[in-house]
Amino acid sequence: MDDRATCGPGPLDSLGPLGPPGAQREPGILRLGRQEFPAGRLLVMAIINRTPDSFYRPGITWHETAAMERVHTVVAEGADIVDIGGVPAKPGTEVTVDEESDRTIPFVEAVREAYPDLVISVDTWRHEVGRAACAAGADLLNDTWSGWDPKLAEVAAECGVGLVCSHTGGQHPRTRVFRRAYADVMADVLDRTLTLAQRAVQAGVDPSRILIDPAHDFGKNTWHSLEISRRLADMTATGWPVLVSVSNKDFVGETLGAGVDDRLAGTLAVTSVAAWLGARVFRAHHVEQTRQALDMVAAVKGDFRPARVLKGLV
Amino acid sequence: MHGPARGPAVIIRAALCPCPPLLARELTGRDPIVSGLREACAEAAARLVAADPDILIVVGPAPETAGWDSASRLDLSAFAPALGATLEASGTPGLPLSLGLGVLLLDQAGYSGPRFLQAVGEQEPVGRCTELGDKLAASAARAALLVMGDGSARRSPTAPGHLDERAAPFDARVERAIRAGDLAALAAVDATLARDLMATGRPAWQVLAGAMGAERPMTEILYADDPFGVAYLVADFEAAPNGAGQAGAS
């Protein structure tokens, strides 16, 4: 399948570091599904892979019963959003639209039936899958491949759901970064994500349902991912809610010299830095630990009441 | 130490409550904790208010003996800066912890009548304490007294002052005296031992002893426990009718 004829990053006008006029928004309420989240609320997006071959614990939720069991678990652990994906990010055997739909759509329906109010996100770049997912009950389209299929934003608008606007440096879906260089990676991230957000608004997506995501590791080497982590405040300053997806990723592994099963501490460290710098949604494999790290950061920021304070007060 | 003759039962009702910061709901986080203690304190304060006194006097230990502005409140931000300086607008200085929590209890009980706030110095000898109590009692025809003070903070290995084996019998003696309405026994509590045991309520107990005089009030213990290694005691004292006092059952 070559979708380059109709899809791809496309030409962008030079928009400057903060994107086009009007690309900023007032920080405030994020709406997802039936729910409204104020600015100080940090949200955990639990990863549910309906794939046999994703990079972290491949195949663990390939079967529907295992996937539903994981939904029950992550909800109990404090997940605010589940992110259901049917295609791994890495290169591999082609997953067609039909195959991706088969993997994700019935499962979205099942989760919606089990949890009427849970925010359901679907990780896809294809508008056909996005449309079917919305019909099945999805609330958010997580476009990890950065508007490769421009019709996805139109589907989000048409269905009244949210959209994640990400940055990949123009990578084709399911390809790995190869010798990518940026004059200023954060400027490129801002340019792309804000442009996509602006396009989504123009297409009719509710601005309060749009997130931006720098997309660590996508079209970026480890130095780039560290740089966008360090400068994440440049993104949060735009007022758009920022989603970060850092869980167990290679930039953590390369930084710490840690294998894929030994990246939790690094993941939580970057998660905490991102939370401190104002990110609001955190895509995660380890929901319980992420929830705890975020609650701790929120308490330090003064946005979260401690559970039980007795020390020195008895 | 007794002044000119005065009418009987000038302290018509008194209450004893502990004064840990955790009594302030804002300080303890999301989980409901010490609800039994808070309810007992609320009950004790409600009984004082229901007695309809001419004035309600709050007494509590503090570094120095002093009267405080009755419009003052506790500055919770001293314990939890995230709560913000709540007193800046009022322009009044923050009360010592014991008086501040006493005022909080009165506010929560809906009391809006006259009040007087009396700190008693932590180092005051017993004679000064009972004398102060006597003066307070004489200050109005029908006064009620809210006495704030804790027992030993050395009751267990996890207590603020670790374990001192003398703490349990010390607190038991205090509780027995209060249960029996034996205020003379409170006046006899040894100040040095109380200090050793971090029983910060000692001077306030002795003000109570001075204020309620020799008559045995009827008492009821509403709470007695040490969930965090500090002895918390909540008690209600009702003046004996016509001076014919006797200890009440608890």
Residue A200 belongs to a domain with what CATH number? 3.20.20.20
pLDDT given for residue B110 in this prediction? 97
Residue A56 has pLDDT above 90, yes or no: no
- Torsions phi, psi of A134, nearest 5? -65, -40
Reading the block at residue A129, the tokens are 């899958």
Structural domain contains residue B39: yes
Q: Which residue of A has its CA nearest to B82?
A: A302
A252 Cβ neighbours under 8 A, 6+ residues apart = A246, A258, A263, A266, A267, A270
Q: Considering only CA atoms, which of A141, A214, A224 is closest in space to residue A180?
A: A224
Contact call for residues A260 and A231 (beta carbons, < 8 A): no
Q: Considering only CA atoms, which of A188, A89, A191 is closest in space to residue A142?
A: A89
Mean pLDDT for back-to-back runs of 10 residues, chain B (250 residues): 46 97 93 94 98 97 96 88 67 86 97 97 97 93 96 96 97 98 96 97 98 90 97 95 47
Structural domain contains residue A161: yes
Contact call for residues B172 and B152 (beta carbons, < 8 A): no
Provide, as residue numbers in chain A, all residues whose Cβ is less than 8 Å from the Cβ of B229: 314
Does residue B91 or residue A123 have the better pLDDT?
A: A123
Q: Which helix (H) or strand (E) holds B13?
A: strand B11-17
Structural domain contains residue B5: no
The DSSP symbol for B61 reads E
The DSSP symbol for A242 reads B
CB of A5 less than 8 A from some CB of B: no
Question: Mind listing the pLDDT tens digit for each residue in A124-137?
Answer: 999 999 999 999 99
* Domain residue limits at B191: 11-241
Structural domain contains residue A310: no
Q: Determine whether the interchain pair A307/B31 forms a contact, defined as Cβ–Cβ distance below 8 Å.
A: yes
Return the percentage of chain A with pLDDT > 70, whole number. 93
Residue A138 has pLDDT above 50, yes or no: yes
Question: Number of C-alpha atoms within 13 angstroms, CB side, residue A151?
Answer: 9
Return the percentage of chain A with pLDDT > 90, whole number. 84
The DSSP symbol for B78 reads G
Measured from the Cβ of residue B26, the count of other Cβ atoms closer than 10 Å reads 15
Structural domain contains residue B247: no
Question: Mind listing the pLDDT tens digit for each residue in A81-95?
Answer: 999 999 999 888 999
- Alpha-carbon span A226 to A270, nearest angstrom: 9
What is the rounded average pLDDT of the residues A14-41? 76
Structural domain contains residue B37: yes
Residue A19 has pLDDT above 60, yes or no: no
Question: Mind listing the pLDDT tens digit for each residue in A203-262?
Answer: 999 999 999 999 999 999 999 999 999 999 999 999 999 999 999 999 999 999 999 999
Structural domain contains residue A182: yes
CATH code for the domain in which residue B55 is found: 3.40.830.10
What's the structural domain count of chain A?
1
Structural domain contains residue B249: no
What is the rounded average pLDDT of the residues A43-69? 90
Q: Determine whether the interchain pair B21/A313 forms a contact, defined as Cβ–Cβ distance below 8 Å.
A: yes
Q: A124 to chain B nearest CA, in Å? A: 38
pLDDT given for residue B227 in this prediction? 96
Structural domain contains residue B4: no
pLDDT given for residue B87 in this prediction? 57
CB of A311 less than 8 A from some CB of B: no
B135 Cβ neighbours under 8 A, 6+ residues apart = B3
What region, left, alpha or beta, does residue A192 occupy, with left being phi > 0 and alpha being psi -120 to 50 degrees? alpha
Q: With a cut of 0.95, is the ipTM above it?
A: no
Structural domain contains residue A101: yes
pLDDT given for residue B246 in this prediction? 43
What is the rounded average pLDDT of the residues A142-149? 96
Q: B216 to chain A nearest CA, in Å? A: 31
A265 Cβ neighbours under 8 A, 6+ residues apart = A256
Strands A119-123 and A140-143: parallel
Question: Number of C-alpha atoms within 13 angstroms, CB side, residue A221?
Answer: 6
Structural domain contains residue A312: no
**What is the helix, strand, coil percentage profile of chain B, to 5?**
35, 20, 45
Residues of A annotated as catalytic (active site), given as ranges: 249, 283
Structural domain contains residue A295: yes
What's the structural domain count of chain B?
1
Q: Determine whether the interchain pair A314/B31 forms a contact, defined as Cβ–Cβ distance below 8 Å.
A: no
* Confidence band of A57 (pLDDT split at 50, 70, 90): confident
Structural domain contains residue B203: yes
* Domain residue limits at A116: 27-301
